[in-house]
Amino acid sequence: MGVIRFDLVSKAGKLRLLLISLGISLLTMASAAGQSVDAAQNLPQSQHPTAHQQPFLREFLKDEWDIWKSPFKKSSYSSHTVKKYVIPFTVLSGTLIATDTKTAALLPNTDDQRMWSGRVSQIGASYTLASVSAGTYLLGKVTKNKHVQETGLLSLHAFAHTQIVTFGVKQLTNRARPLSHEGTAGFWDGGNSFPSGHASTTFAVATVFAYEYREHIAVPILSYSVASVVAASRVSAQRHWVSDIVVGGSTGFLIGRYVYKRHHDPGLPGSKVTSSSPLVPEVAISATRLSLEWRF
């Protein structure tokens, strides 16, 4: 019989882990609940608001407010959602946090590994993602292609929202990075590791592209593959823990999906997103299997 053991220093350590796990579930719901905005779900497709119908700043601030207030909305916590998503995802996240120092030690962690991983991760740097998104928007403007234009604009929306959410959570958690930790992957220790900004923003932009061009299967595959490589490179560069990547990637996916669902013009090509679509990853945990699956 296999045994999984987590060594926590004290009762205070257990309480801290519990609070972090609860915070993760709230963060997950915060990102997902934006997708549950009543106006976005209940309007007929022909009346869905788009990114072209309102002043940018007012629209952006409303979306940001919806994302942050969602953890405090009762509608975010139906019994079905809690049982199927919140509890499993909290368990998964808590498990990853508890084992972060062990998983980090599985890699060789050589200078060459860190150097090459750091170079790869530049694909997900803020200036790269902002340039790709803005370039796509400008390309759509120049060519008068509304679909390309919307893809770029919504990518910028998703990128900006994810930057703000990630920055806010980093300030609340203050987690030490792998290269600066002293034996534990500690929180509230003056760091800015949790969650990964590269993972969250790359997945946010990738999700918009994947939804906009779902009929071209190569686009979703390439988008999520690039995002996954960037996220993994942050671990091998010893800039983030595994749990930073999983929570960051999940957050980016959910925010990207929210932006697409809230503002996609149904008159343009793209994936049809219904209110019955899963809002968060499908998580399955059993004695012999742990899986994380997104359907899009």
pLDDT in tens, 7-28: 433 445 545 554 555 455 445 5
Q: What is the mean pLDDT of residues 102-118?
A: 90
61 is in which domain, residue-wise? 11-293
Least confident among 67-71, 98-102, 223-227, 270-274:
270-274
Is 3 among the domain residues? no
Q: Is the pTM of this model over 0.85?
A: no
Examine the pLDDT at 273 and tell me if it is beyond 90: no
Answer whether residue 6 is part of any domain: no
In a domain? residue 105: yes
Q: Which residue has the higher pLDDT, 17 or 115?
A: 115
Identify the band that residue 197 occupies on the pLDDT scale cut at 50, 70 and 90: very high
Q: CA–CA separation, 177 vs 174, rounded Å?
A: 9
pLDDT of residue 285: 42
Position 232 in a domain: yes
In a domain, residue 5? The reply is no
DSSP secondary structure string for all residues of the chain: --------SSHHHHHHHHHHHHHHHHHHHHHHHGGG-HHHHHS-GGG---TTSS-HHHHHHHHHHHHHHGGG-GGG--HHHIIIIIHHHHHHHHHHHHTHHHHHTTS---HHHHHHHHHHHGGGSHHHHHHHHHHHHHHHHHHT-HHHHHHHHHHHHHHHHHHHHHHHHHHHH-PPPGGG-SSS--SSSS---SS-HHHHHHHHHHHHHHHHTTTSTHHHHHHHHHHHHHHHHHHHTTSS-HHHHHHHHHHHHHHHHHHHHHH--TTSSS----TTS-SS-EEEE-SS-EEEE---
| Res. 265: pLDDT tops 70 | yes
Alpha-carbon distances, residue 159 vs 74, 101, 203, 262 (angstroms):
27, 30, 9, 15
pLDDT at 293: 52
Query: For the chain, how many structural domains are there in total?
Result: 1
- pLDDT bin (cut points 50, 70, 90) of residue 274 is low
In a domain, 4, yes or no: no
Q: Say what the pLDDT of residue 23 is.
A: 57
143-152, 170-179, 257-266, 280-289: least confident range: 280-289
What is the arithmetic mean of pLDDT over 204-228? 96
The rounded percent of the chain whose pLDDT value lies above 90 is: 49
Of the pLDDT bands very low, low, confident and very high (cuts 50, 70, 90), residue 294 is very low
What confidence score (pLDDT) does residue 223 get?
A: 96
* In a domain? residue 1: no
Residue 257 in any domain: the answer is: yes
Kindly report the number of other CB atoms within 10 A of residue 122's CB atom.
Answer: 12
